[in-house]
Amino acid sequence: MAPEKPSSKGQAWFCTTGLPSDVIIEVDDMTFHLHKFPLMSKSRKLHELITEQEKGLLIPKGTAKLRKHSDLSQQSDNDIKQEEIQEEQDEDEEQCQITLPDFPGGCESFETAAKFCYGVKIELSATKAAALRCAGEYLEMTEEYSEDNLISKTERFISQSVLRNIRYSIKALTSCQELIPTAENLGIVQRCIDAVASKAATSDPSLFGWPVNDRGPSRAAGDSTWLDELGFLSLPFFKRLILAMKASDLSSEIIESCLIHYAKQYIPGISRATRKKPPPLASSSAAASVPTENEQREFLETIISNLPKEKTSSSSLNSTRLLFGLLRTAYILNASEVCRLTLEKKIGSQLEHATLDDLLIPSYSYLNETLYDVDCVERILGYFLQGMEERSAIRIQTEDDNNSSGRSAALMLVGKLIDGYLSEIASDANLKPDKFYDLAISLPDHARLFDDGLYRAVDVYLKSHQWISEAEREKICGVLDCQKLTLEACTHAAQNERLPLRAVVQVLFFEQLQLRHAIAGTLLAVDGGMAAGGEGGQSSSPCGGEGEEEEVENVAEEEAAPPVTLISAVRENQVLRVDMDSMRTRVHELEKECTTMRKALEKIDKMGPRGHVEKGGWRNMFGCKFKTQVCDSHESTVVDTRKARGHRRE
């Protein structure tokens, strides 16, 4: 029998075989005009339904037709036409009419199954296989009823093609959302979930931010985009998939990557770079809609509750930025407090990967007076420091120093990040001095190599809060360690009128100490160079044998090394003397300035409140003059500054 040529006309589907159809099957809003024999040969269910219909249609029709033909001469033309129309309707009623309610996959799935019954070759795919498998079960198209039937054909395709590829498994699982409960009862849903969980462990490591290892597991074709396919899963199916992954002891990197990709698909605004509209909601209903606020909150809480609490090896700048996006969204959607705290702890475990833009979380609550949520950043920093202490305790117990340098680098990165954050929020007029002080002293001393960044934040805060009391000014300046300020920062602070007098005196004192240490270091360097030159000038070697070989080697080294003459040594000594003279002059000037400031402090104590000082400030009054300089926060050492001055003199 040649393959039939089916055709669709509006809401009716016809199979043109040259013979009139003798069975009508209704599925959803589509009517299929088919033939009994092809359907009954493949489907046990249709065979039984058609047989029952035929038993009810067995009525004597010949007598009625003879009576009608005998009375034609006595009827008018209109009556004859009415009888013909009625006869056609009677013939339609005599056809088998079957309705298949709740057919899995709808009319499209039944159309493919009907083509299979007519012998038309069908193309199976990952998105259609599950629906056709359910259709075959519904129509009872078993192997016992007919060889090479639809059930066995779809089962082979699912087992041999779909479940062996992670992308195909996710697509089949997505199609099962419209096939509940049939797909669930047949075990297709669970089989697809298990296949995805098992295949995820052998996926491309570069998808999760890992370094690709040539000796790693093989990667199947098409695995490079399976994470994006997760966005089409409904939340119940996605929850089951994550639980299966955890039960399979998959690494935290894989689970976290799946959660982040799913969040990017359904929760808008988690990334400031891409604020695209979320895709239609994947659910059991056919209607596609944008997730509501409650649905987004449910998605968010599900994702955060399943995030690995520990820091993963795939943690990076991008993943940390997405976590901050989730945190901002959690505040906007008014997620539970447990959800927000869990996310803050997760961010705290990898705070060294954050940027200043990440920390600038707006205050979404009317209870916060500040522009940015300082309390949230303070909690995140506390979780980071707590994790550092725990890891340090473990290192002491295990005597493992391999990661100590990495922890120190992370701590210094966070220190620089917090200093930048303090500089950003310092201009907020509603930021209380105690809040600024608490956040500034929360880091340990070894978190900052220099305090220049912290000094900048203090300067901005004092400039923006000129109304605070003198005691509060001294408290704010108390966060600074003057010994960790560079010469440039000390010079700027010494002429900063916003600083309290006590802080200025401390700065001048430590600047003088730095200069004295620099001079002492220069003298030691000169003495060491002269001693090295003296040792180099003395050369003696025994005669003959090994002495001759050593002498040959020394001659070769001297020929390879650049020549050092007496004139060049004299020039270097002259440059060093000039540099030392200038440093001595600067030290004397600073000593005079300190003496003048001490006298000024004594007079101010006698004069009374600060407000009685004459116009122009105490510096103009007592003759303390400084050159205006700009504070440079670059981490430059004293030796580097001295070398730069030497080069300029040359």
Per-position DSSP letters for 427-482, written without gaps between them: T-TT--HHHHHHHHSSS-GGG-S-SHHHHHHHHHHHHH-TTS-HHHHHHHHTT--G
- What is the Rg, in whole angstroms, of the alpha carbon atoms belonging to the chain? 43
Nearest 5 degrees, angle CA 461-CA 462-CA 463? 90
DSSP letters spanning 292-335: -HHHHHHHHHHHHHHS-SSPPTT--HHHHHHHHHHHHHHHHTT-
* Strands (DSSP E) found in 357-425: none
Residues 6+ apart with CB under 8 A from 453: 416, 419, 420, 423, 633
Alpha-carbon span 376 to 631, nearest angstrom: 30
Backbone angles phi, psi at 96, to 5 degrees: -75, 125
Please give the Cα distance from 319 to 209 (Å, whole number): 9
pLDDT at position 635: 40
C-alpha to C-alpha distances, 227 to 208, 249, 261, nearest whole angstrom: 10, 19, 6
Distance CA 291, CA 299 (A): 9
Strands 30-34 and 23-27, bridge-based pairing: antiparallel
Residue 618, pLDDT score: 45
* Beta carbons of 601 and 501 less than 8 angstroms apart: yes
d(CA 443, CA 351): 13
Strand partners, 52: none
Give the pLDDT of residue 94: 61
Give the separation between CA 319 and CA 207, rounded to whole angstroms.
12
- How far is the C-alpha of 234 from the C-alpha of 239, rounded, in Å? 9
pLDDT reported for residue 144: 92
SS3 content of the chain, % helix, strand, coil (to 5): 65, 5, 30
Confidence at residue 192, expressed as pLDDT on a 0 to 100 scale:
96
Distance CA 45, CA 53 (A): 12
Q: Which residues contact 149 (CB under 8 A, 6 or more apart)?
A: 42, 136, 141, 142, 143
Q: Is the peptide bond prior to 60 cis by the omega test (within 30 degrees of 0)?
A: no
Please give the full DSSP string across 239-259, using - where no structure is assigned. Answer: HHHHHHHHHTT--HHHHHHHH
CA distance 489 to 632: 6
Question: Which of 193, 198, 201, 214 minimizes the C-alpha distance to 251?
Answer: 201
Give residue 397's pLDDT.
Answer: 60
At residue 625, the pLDDT reads 43
pLDDT of amino acid 339: 93
- State the Cα–Cα distance between residues 226 and 166, nearest whole angstrom: 7
Rounded Cα distance between 463 and 490, Å, is 18
Do residues 429 and 396 make contact, with C-beta atoms less than 8 angstroms apart?
Answer: no
Q: How far is it, in rounded angstroms, from Cα 240 to Cα 453? A: 48
Q: Write down the pLDDT at residue 44.
A: 93
Structural contact between residues 510 and 485, judged by C-beta atoms closer than 8 angstroms: yes
Beta-bridge partner residues of 27: 30
Residue that the structure tokens 């046990």 belong to: 44
Residue closest to 125 by CA, chosen among 142, 100, 140, 108: 108
Alpha-carbon distance of 49 to 600, in angstroms, equals 111
Residues in the chain where the model's pLDDT stays below 50: 1-6, 8-10, 59-74, 80, 85-91, 209-223, 274-276, 283-288, 536-566, 610-650
pLDDT reported for residue 283? 44
Give residue 446's region: left, alpha or beta (phi > 0; psi -120 to 50): alpha
